[in-house]
Amino acid sequence: MEHPTELPPPSDPLGEALHLLRLTGCVYARSELSAPWGIDLPPLEGQMMFHIVTSGRCWLEADGSEPLLLERGSLAMVPHGLGHQLVDERGGASTNFFDLPVERISERYELLRYGGGGEACRLICVVVRFDHAAAQRLVDALPPVLHLDAWESGDDRWLSDTLRFIAREAESLRPGGETVITRLADILAIQMIRHWIESEADVDTGWLAALRDEQLGRAIAAIHREPGADWTLEALARTAAMSRSAFAARFTEVVGEPAMRYLTRWRLQISRIALRECSDPLGIVAERFGYRSEAAFCRAFKREFGVSPGSDRRFVEQSLLPT
């Protein structure tokens, strides 16, 4: 098992954590809508949904949040996969998205033309998920709805320029346009989260607060960078430049769980991803993520996820087989 190496202290632990996020696009739908219209997007567990208004206007209505007016240049994200409605007028009727006449342009890109012929609105709607252990921590910290108006914003010129570029590509869909839109949409999702963190997030406890903490952030970043190292509470405290007792108490207070429990959960979460993506024997994966034996790894994995690592890997492999 590796011993922790002398790593340079990260200057931006939060930035490092965001760098770990791997966004996987599921559905990209370009919508050409005309009033009256309404779309009901049902809950999608484990997914994030966001919408880009490229022309016109609409309302986003979600339980627990005030109705939100989205105009040209608006981005709205529903990060917890909650069901919500997009409508041309507040309180308008809506139809389940999956019951609407969608034209599939490719495996991941769809076109929806829908409505009664009145005032026009054009949207790009994206359903995505993050495939990394950092994702759930991040998503848990986000509000039910994120909203950003950027079309005319001078402070975020990159954002308004990106939106204009996406709008042009969506209207013409030139060769390669689908790829351009989907990749830029991925970037927008992460950038929108970064914008919220930098400008609006005000938290004193939790994962984001710990990453922002100069001392705790160093320890968490070290775990993320070398999850398989032989970390002890003393070693993490040294990384944070704190005493063992002060580090242990502050970590638990801010993060909400002890440091060694965080380390264990992180190792198991990323080992689960590794198992699903590689064919290495269990023993090799166990050692890579800090376990002295395959048996110890299997016991910890089953306690955390309720299934053995071998069963989890086989389930994923079978689900990918053609039907």
Tokens 């389940």 label which residue? Answer: 96
Length of the chain: 323
With 70 as the cut, is the pLDDT of residue 295 above it? yes
Assess whether pLDDT exceeds 80 at residue 186.
no
**CA dihedral defined by 237, 241, 243, 249, rounded to 10 degrees?**
-60
**Inter-CA distances, 205 with 213, 254, 259, Å:** 10, 5, 14
Q: Is 60 exceeded by the pLDDT of residue 321? A: no
- Asked if residue 18 has pLDDT above 80, the reply is no
Whole-angstrom distance, CA of residue 32 vs CA of residue 103? 12
**Span of 52-61, 65-74, 136-145 with lowest mean pLDDT:** 136-145
pLDDT digits (tens, 9 = 90+) for 100-114: 988 987 777 788 999
This prediction's pTM: 0.72
The pLDDT assigned to 76 comes to: 92
**What is the pLDDT at residue 173?**
60
Task: Report the mean per-residue pLDDT for the chain.
Answer: 83
Place of tokens 């484990």: 46
Q: How many CB atoms lie within 10 A of CB 204?
A: 9
Q: How far apart are CA 77 and CA 127, in angstroms?
A: 10
Confidence category of residue 322, pLDDT binned at 50, 70, 90: very low
Domain definitions of the chain by residue range: 20-199, 207-319
- CATH 1.10.10.60 given to domain 207-319: yes
Under CATH, which number does the domain 20-199 receive?
Answer: 2.60.120.280
Element (H, E) at 191: helix 177-199
Residue pLDDT, tens place only, 74-89? 889 998 889 999 999 9
- Count CB neighbours of 247 within 10 A: 22
DSSP string of 251-264? HHHHHSS-HHHHHH
The mean pLDDT of 184-203, rounded to a whole number, is: 72
pLDDT at 208: 83
Has residue 1 got a pLDDT over 60? no
| pLDDT of amino acid 150 | 65
pLDDT tens digits, one per residue of 119-169: 999 998 888 877 666 667 777 778 889 888 765 555 566 677 777 777 676
- Percent of the chain scored above 70 by pLDDT? 79
| pLDDT-based confidence at residue 316 (cuts at 50, 70, 90) | low
Question: What tens digit of pLDDT does each residue of 228-277 get?
Answer: 999 999 999 999 999 999 999 999 999 999 999 999 999 998 899 889 88
- Specify the pLDDT at position 323: 44
Query: What pLDDT, on the 0 to 100 scale, is given for residue 132?
Result: 67
- Say if residue 306's pLDDT is above 70: yes
